Structure 1
Amino acid sequence: MTKNLIFLLIVLLSSSAFAKSPCADIRGKQSYPPLNITGGAVCFVQEAISDDKTGAPSGLDGISLYYISNGNVPVKANGRGLLYDETPGEIVDAFSMNVGRDHREEIFVIHSMDVRDSLVEPNSSGKFYSVSVFYPSGNTLLRDDHASDWFGADYSWLSDGKRVIYKFPYQSKKDVQQAIESPFALFMIDNGNIPVRVKSKSYLFEEPNVRSETKKYLIVGDQAAVEQITAGWCQVNYLGGTRPIKMWLMCSALDVEAQAKK
């Protein structure tokens, strides 16, 4: 009985170890385990990047997404792929969620890469993060540019030489889930405006980055409307001064008006 049990365990372990991955037939290194979604499987493959104009190999590698729909042949995702530099970087996490009013299944890919020393921003982590969003359509994946731009990309942190003044807000699955549940998530789907109130004195920026800081600022209680969002930055339209102001500040400095009144 004992010998039979040992033999059965060996067979089960062997069959599990040699079970074929749905992505095994795609040429290239598997950069992340296959992601099973409702209609099939998503594969993450490291492969050579070709020059957009000439089609010749660039000498660099990137990570591409492939979709295997209901056992069909793998199809490379449409749209811009994941960021790359001297290396293809790595996928921190990849998962699917049903989002929006129609509960469409979307694939979220959190990616990071080390920026080469000659290009790295001073007083930064040197590690660049991004969140890319895709959704299945027929037998392929399409990049959701609107949602991807909403999450954006930036260094994991930036400092002024003394303290951290910015952190990329979506570095984990939990961060992404919380963002999708926030009132600002409306901008992932469509444009518009959301009334907000300033929580603390906040300097304004010409662009959504710390290098474009100005001497202008809003104070506690100032009311404005958010019109655009990327990488944790909110573009606000402020009408409370002598002239309208349309500039950027960090979304963490704002309360949505409905919440501010609670």
Structure 2
Amino acid sequence: MFKLLTFMILCVLVLPAAVFGRTCDDLGGGQAYQPMDFNGSTVCFVFTKTPTEEGQLSRDPDGIAIYSLSKSEKSRLVYEFPYAGTKGKINDAFAIFVSAASEEMFFVIHSVEAPRAWDVISDVYDVSVFVFEGGALVRDELRSGFFDMGGDMKDNVGELSYVYPYKDKISVSKAVRSILFEVAGMPVPISGVVKEKSFLYGSDTEPVIQEPSRVYLIKGDEVAVEQSMAGWCKVSFVTKVKRVQKWMQCKSIAFSERQ
């Protein structure tokens, strides 16, 4: 009787471990980065095969996807990172407490080798922000859009004209403490003052970096930042004739700590 009772107790103790003892290795494909714990869930980074139009698996380098494992749900696909048909990797993953939102968020820095046809001279980076909503890990589209994606570029004369500013944990952590990140996605312009002579770039949705305009602002000019992404700020300012909207690099704008 004692042996039977002991066996039953062991079954009760061991069975949950067997049921909930799933690991990232069980997802197949191979791990692209070490698993991490976030808010009681295991975050897995898994290599994925890309199917061709004929339904066959591509011979191109694998893509990377993020999955979550928890006791309350089966393994769940959370997000597939940008894919360009080239080799990609997870550069870093970490949690940061975001004071403005009063919650901890999960940040992932991912990069891919730039295809030859792209006008960049470095790998192409992107930063994704993840939060828990309704007990599930989800990608925060607005805050991820703040970091967006990009790679270093040169202008028409070969000078370095743009450096993607969020390639490591230090730069991401600094950005999270900025006023621009705090108001990301909010329809409220942020006032700023230009720190140095800065050329402006056109286009409505994103800057056309290869084609700077002849228009520029100088130190002391006041602007209103209406949107920011990948280190670029969409600004508006008033001339003697009209209000103008252009893009410029956010690093050339000074902001007060609180507005």
Shift of residue 132, structure 1, vs aligned partner: 1.3
> Which residue of structure 2 aligns with residue 93 of structure 1?
92
* Aligned counterparts of 1:25 and 1:250: Cα–Cα separation in 2: 44
Counterpart CA distance in 1 for 2:54 and 2:38 is 32
What code does the residue aligned with 1:204 have? L
Q: CA deviation at 1:103?
A: 2.1
User: What CA RMSD, in Å, does the superposition of the two structures yield over aligned residues?
Assistant: 2.5
CA positional deviation for 1:55: 9.5
Give TM-score, length-normalised by structure 2: 0.81
> Using the alignment, how far apart are the partners of 2:33 and 2:214 within structure 1?
45
Consecutive unaligned residues in structure 1, runs of 5 or more? 1-19
Structure-2 separation of matches of 1:27 and 1:190 = 40
Give the equivalent residue in structure 2 for 1:9: none
The amino acid that maps onto 2:149 is A
2:153 paired with 1:158? yes
Q: How does 1:5-16 map to 2 (within 5 A)?
A: none
Match for 1:186 among 178, 182, 192? 182
What residue is the counterpart of 1:75 in the other structure?
76
**Distance change >3 Å, CA 253–CA 108, structure 1 → 2:** same
Render the CA deviation track for 1:74-99: whole Å, top value 9, x for unaligned. Answer: 11105xx2111223400110112222
Partner of 2:46: 45
1:127-150 Cα offsets, whole Å, 9 max, x none, are: 111111122234532121111111
Q: Distance in 2 between matches of 1:253 and 1:98?
A: 27
Identity of aligned residues (%): 31
Counterpart position of 1:120: 118
Q: What's the counterpart of residue 247 of structure 1?
A: 246
Q: Distance in 2 between matches of 1:228 and 1:57?
A: 41
Return the alpha-carbon distance in structure 2 between the equivalents of residues 108 and 182 of structure 1: 16
Matched ranges for 1:1-262 at <5 A: 22-50=23-51, 56-57=55-56, 59=58, 60=60, 61-70=62-71, 72-77=73-78, 81-117=80-116, 119-121=117-119, 124-138=120-134, 140-155=136-151, 157-160=152-155, 161-188=157-184, 190-207=186-203, 208-256=207-255, 258=256
Q: Post-superposition shift, 1:153?
A: 0.8
CA–CA distance in structure 2, aligned partners of residues 190 and 22 of structure 1: 39
- Counterpart CA distance in 1 for 2:185 and 2:40 is 22
Q: Confirm or deny: 8 A CA contact 1:237 1:244 kept in the other structure.
A: yes
Q: Is the 8 A contact 1:40 1:71 kept in 2?
A: no
Distance 1:95 1:22 in 2: 19
The count of aligned residue pairs is 233
3-state SS in 2 of match to 1:24: helix
Q: Give the gaps of 5 or more residues in structure 2.
A: 1-20
The structural deviation recorded for 1:64 is 0.6
SS in 2 for 1:25: helix
Greater Cα shift, 192-201 or 98-107:
98-107
Give the conservation status (yes or no) of the 8 Å contact 1:76–1:141.
Answer: no
CA 1:96–1:192: 2 relative to 1, 3 Å: same
Q: Matches of 1:116 and 1:234 in 2, distance apart?
A: 26
How much does 1:213 deviate? Answer: 0.8
